[in-house]
Chain A
């Protein structure tokens, strides 16, 4: 160990506890009392004892340790400092961090996919391609049912592509329709829901009226209003001829009745109900003319209706009106559903003419 003497107080001590400033040496006490600002830019510098290891403090007597930069280190510390080894826990921590990063990126993949579907869906909505946007946004909402943006986009796209059921279930899945941020998107969707709700209410009333005697004209008017109010749902307009056919039936204008039922079937060629309507009209023609050609056509149409009725609900509907149509073909008597129900059934089933 080397020693130094303070230029101020002449006290001697270990060299590495002294300071150099402006070519003078100071002990710590004197250095604390001095203001080191007499020489512009100069700063007090710690003195280095080359016989003391900087890291472990080992004293090498009078021999100097080799330096690394300006600092002296003993053999062991020299090797350690030069190697800068990473601690084992740090290596383990960094490995864990990398593993976590891989997990994070893998975990985020499905969200990325959902986000991407929403991003593309949003563009499609902006371009007015609502029907194309719905399946994409549905996938997003499946993963993120609580996302205001995804749910409102899906609701908007679904409502504007005539699919209110998807819109309703998306909104219901968002905390039972609650907790949306109040913004213009929500206002727009609310306004769409209220327009669609009003139209569907009319559809419901029209459907109810259509099962009652003498109400066909009122039902058709309501259905026309609903179709005008919600033009994005094409099925409403396509169903109109069926309702107008009811008016013709009530007026006993069976030519017009047949014409309108055929028009409805042309618009809804996959509908067993529409095919059944044609069969019913053909049966009326047979009833009033007795021409077996109408009967044969009616039976053919009834068979077509049966084949088109796939779902249990459709099959149930088919059984109901097929029974009445066969009655008409067998008896050549034309009675409407309420009267048929009164005569032959309890008055709970549904159907038309």
Chain B
């Protein structure tokens, strides 16, 4: 496994960082949480952040923390769907398609919630699930899975996720539409 400095990855995939932080901010606004500070992109670790008011509302915490996972994944699938066929199947030298695929993968690669986001959720989700909080019950498996996968960042699990979503998502959509 080769090492690429984080800032290089952040620069190469900067749209994903911005979309990730925007999704955090968006859900903060939806749930009316005060945002103390926002950084959409910087040359550092983390490459972006949103510092917001604490909340005891698990649904708000879930969406603010997992919002980027949902938003980035959907955008990744949409952009990659538009570029999947020319890039992977038809092998067409269409630079615009490659640009869209890069954009999709950049966004998909930053879908993973950060360790901090997952820790916040993991601290409260199991206890709330035990007392029957529906959102907590539903989200515990996903949070657990992401929590484990998050350790895989060291072996490019985030890039792997982006590629998997950017290939399997469009493939599923194409197959479904092609049959229609």
Chains A and B come from one and the same complex: yes
> Which of A99-107, A230-238, A241-249, A318-326 touches B?
A99-107
Q: Which residues on the B side are within 8 Å of A120 (C-beta)?
A: 178
A108 interface hit (Cβ, 8 Å): yes
A148 CA / B92 CA spacing, docked (Å): 11
> Which of B1-9, B83-91, B113-121 touches A?
B83-91
B97 interface hit (Cβ, 8 Å): yes
User: A68 — nearest CB in chain B belongs to which residue?
Assistant: B34
Q: Which residues on the A side are within 8 Å of B90 (C-beta)?
A: 111, 114-115, 118, 140, 143-144, 146-147, 150
Chain B contact residues: over half helix, strand or loop, or mixed?
Answer: helix
Min CB–CB distance B77 → chain A (angstroms): 11
Considering the complex, which residues of chain B in the window 69-87 have a beta carbon less than 8 Å from any beta carbon of chain A? 75, 78-79, 81-86
A90 interface hit (Cβ, 8 Å): yes
B131 interface hit (Cβ, 8 Å): no
Of B19, B36, B81, which is within 8 A of A108 by CB? Answer: B81
A104 CA / B79 CA spacing, docked (Å): 7
Tell me whether B92 and A144 are in contact (CB under 8 A).
yes
User: A82 — nearest CB in chain B belongs to which residue?
Assistant: B34
A149 CA / B34 CA spacing, docked (Å): 54
Number of chain A residues close to chain B: CB under 8 A? 37
Of A84, A87, A100, A150, which is within 8 A of B103 by CB? Answer: A100
For A67-81 the 0/1 string (1 means CB < 8 A from B) is 011110000000001
Tell me whether B91 and A146 are in contact (CB under 8 A).
yes
Given contacts A101-B78, A115-B178, whether A81 and B91 have CB atoms under 8 Å apart is no
Considering the complex, which residues of chain B in the window 166-180 have a beta carbon less than 8 Å from any beta carbon of chain A? 174-175, 177-178
A84 CA / B174 CA spacing, docked (Å): 38
Q: Which residues on the A side are within 8 Å of B143 (C-beta)?
A: none
Tell me whether A111 and B178 are in contact (CB under 8 A).
no
Of A68, A105, A147, which is within 8 A of B89 by CB? Answer: A147
Tell me whether A148 and B36 are in contact (CB under 8 A).
no
Given contacts A119-B178, A144-B91, A147-B89, whether A107 and B34 have CB atoms under 8 Å apart is no
Q: Which residues on the B side are within 8 Å of A94 (C-beta)?
A: 22
Of A69, A82, A90, A146, which is within 8 A of B22 by CB? Answer: A90
A204 interface hit (Cβ, 8 Å): no
A195 interface hit (Cβ, 8 Å): no
A62 CA / B4 CA spacing, docked (Å): 51
A54 CA / B91 CA spacing, docked (Å): 54
Tell me whether B83 and A84 are in contact (CB under 8 A).
no
Tell me whether B92 and A105 are in contact (CB under 8 A).
no
Q: Which residues on the B side are within 8 Å of A100 (C-beta)?
A: 79, 100, 103
Min CB–CB distance B95 → chain A (angstroms): 11
Q: Which residues on the B side are within 8 Å of A344 (C-beta)?
A: none
User: B175 — nearest CB in chain A belongs to which residue?
Assistant: A119
Tell me whether B85 and A114 are in contact (CB under 8 A).
yes
Considering the complex, which residues of chain A in the window 23-42 have a beta carbon less than 8 Å from any beta carbon of chain B? none
A116 CA / B85 CA spacing, docked (Å): 10
User: B37 — nearest CB in chain A belongs to which residue?
Assistant: A55
A93 CA / B94 CA spacing, docked (Å): 24
User: A181 — nearest CB in chain B belongs to which residue?
Assistant: B91
Tell me whether A112 and B35 are in contact (CB under 8 A).
no
Tell me whether A69 and B78 are in contact (CB under 8 A).
no
Q: Which residues of A contact B (CB under 8 A)?
A: 54-55, 68-71, 81-82, 84, 86-87, 90, 93-94, 97, 100-101, 104-105, 107-108, 111-112, 114-116, 118-120, 140, 143-144, 146-150
Known: A90-B40, A105-B81. 4 other contacts (CB 8 A): A87-B40, A97-B15, A108-B100, A111-B92
Pick 14 A–B contacts, CB within 8 A, sort by A. A55-B36, A69-B53, A71-B34, A81-B35, A82-B34, A90-B18, A97-B15, A100-B103, A104-B83, A105-B81, A107-B100, A108-B86, A108-B97, A150-B90
- In the A-B complex, the 6 residue pairs with the closest CB atoms: A144-B90, A108-B82, A104-B82, A69-B53, A111-B85, A115-B85
